[in-house]
Amino acid sequence: MKYRRLGACGLKVSELCLGTMTFGHTTDETESEAIVNGAIDAGVTFFDTANTYADGASECILGKALAGRRKDVVLATKFFNPFGPGPNDSGVSRHAIYRAVTDSLKRLGTDYIDLYYVHHVDTQVKPEETLRALDDLVRGGLVRYVACSNYPAWRLCDSLWTSASGNLERYVAYQGQYNLVVRDLEEEVVPLCLEKGVGLVAWGPLAGGFLTGKYQPGDRTRPGTRSEAGWVWQSNSFAANADDILRTLLEVAAEESRSATQVALRFILGRPGVASVVAGARTHEQFSDSLHASGWELSRDSYTRLEEVSRPTLRYPASFEANTHERRDNAVRT
């Protein structure tokens, strides 16, 4: 297992992060514990959950599985989604944050959270309120680092400025959907993270199972999979040429003597700024496949083929300004 620095902060994480959304949902406690144990045995130190995954069961199961090994891992959880029926039982207000962190700490069976994510955008709360509350949590020892997920670039930039101007804790990481068929982050979010030293953590690196080899070009639903139940299926975000991308992935996997899962994960791990990919699994066998994405590199030809077939079309203003550096260079007369 390889370990990478999380952006500009001093924290290092395993390049594979175990995502536990399935724990307590499609994966029972016994199987969940086996997945965690297998991950730790393979060198995984980064674990990801959220306060509302399986109505809190994911945090409970993960906390039990990590008992006795808590100090050896980086534990991340998130908050935003409703955790009660009241008008203040969701969002990123100071009130909601303190309630959410208290409940998460109890379910996880720990007295601190290593990486605490704002899960979604809350348009009803000013960034100053959220960041001040998160700063207090860090100063109080309940949280070590703070991060955000699913923010547009302008909102992330505004939050970073708010932290800098107010001497508040800043977001050290950004978790966003990033895979071969959804590379939208590359237009604005990735350049911002690279410029500001924010570590990228990719969720959905297998596109909800679409890139695991279970599907063939043209397939969108397979019996016995999450696609059949319509659970966490993001096909509305897929690139228009998703089938061409999948076809190339399957070809490259065969040529590399790797599974489609391993190649898809390896590709995202090769993108600039990516610190880790969140790989979830329903079974220990599935996650064992993902573990083999670590410790090797795609050949240059394979990487190039995947990059080219999945390269997103730039939108304005990026499309209009893409070659301005060439204009400047060509203007020089020697």
The Cα 172–Cα 259 span in angstroms is 32
The secondary structure element, H or E, covering residue 38 is helix 29-41
HSE-CB of 307 using CA atoms within 13 angstroms = 15
Cis peptide, bond prior to residue 272, ω within 30 of zero: no
Q: Is 118 within 8 Å of 129 (Cβ atoms)? A: no
**How many other CB atoms sit within 10 Å of the CB of residue 334?**
2
Catalytic choice (53, 117, 145, 174): 53
Token duo for residue 250: 């399957």
Active site residue 116: no
Q: Are 199 and 7 in contact (CB under 8 A)?
A: yes
Apex 17 CA angle, 45 and 274, nearest 5: 110
Secondary structure tally for the chain: helices H, strands E: 13, 10
* CATH number for the domain whose boundaries are 13-330: 3.20.20.100
In order along its 334 residues, the chain shows pLDDT tens digits of 999 999 999 999 999 999 999 999 999 999 999 999 999 999 999 999 999 999 999 999 999 999 999 999 999 999 999 888 999 989 999 999 999 999 999 999 999 999 999 999 999 999 999 999 999 999 999 999 999 999 999 999 999 999 999 999 999 999 999 999 999 999 999 999 999 999 999 999 999 999 999 999 987 777 766 666 665 567 789 999 999 999 999 999 999 999 999 999 999 999 999 999 999 989 999 999 999 999 999 999 999 999 999 999 989 998 888 888 888 888 888 7
Report residue 191 as tokens: 């350049």
Which helix (H) or strand (E) covers residue 126, if one does?
Answer: none
